[in-house]
Amino acid sequence: MAIDTGAVRAYLLGLQARIVAALEAADGKGFVSDAWTRPAGGALEGDGLTRLVEEGALFERGGCNFSHVRGTALPPSATQHRRELAGAPFEAMGVSLVLHPRNPYVPTVHMNVRMLAATPARGATVSWFGGGMDLTPYYGFEDDARHFHRSCKAAIGSGLYARFKPWCDEYFFLAHRGEPRGVGGIFFDDFVLPEEQGGHEAGFALIRATGDAFLDAYLPIVQRRRELPYGERERDFQAWRRGRYVEFNLVWDRGTHFGLHGGGRAESILMSMPPLARWRYAWQPEPGTPEARLATDFLRPRDWADE
Active site residues: 110
Count, residues in the chain: 307
Q: Checking DSSP bridges between strand 126-136 and strand 59-71, what pairing results, if any?
A: unpaired
Q: Checking DSSP bridges between strand 32-38 and strand 44-54, what pairing results, if any?
A: antiparallel
Tell me which residue of 131, 130, 128 sits closest to 194, measured CA to CA: 128
CA distance 80 to 94: 19
Q: Which helix (H) or strand (E) holds 8?
A: helix 6-27
- What are phi and psi for residue 13, nearest 5 degrees? -65, -40
- What are phi and psi for residue 228, nearest 5 degrees? -65, 135
Residues pairing with 53 in the sheet: 62
CA distance 185 to 203: 19
- What are phi and psi for residue 64, nearest 5 degrees? -140, 110
- What are phi and psi for residue 133, nearest 5 degrees? -150, 150
Helix axes 6-27, 199-225, angle to 10 degrees: 0
CA distance 16 to 18: 6
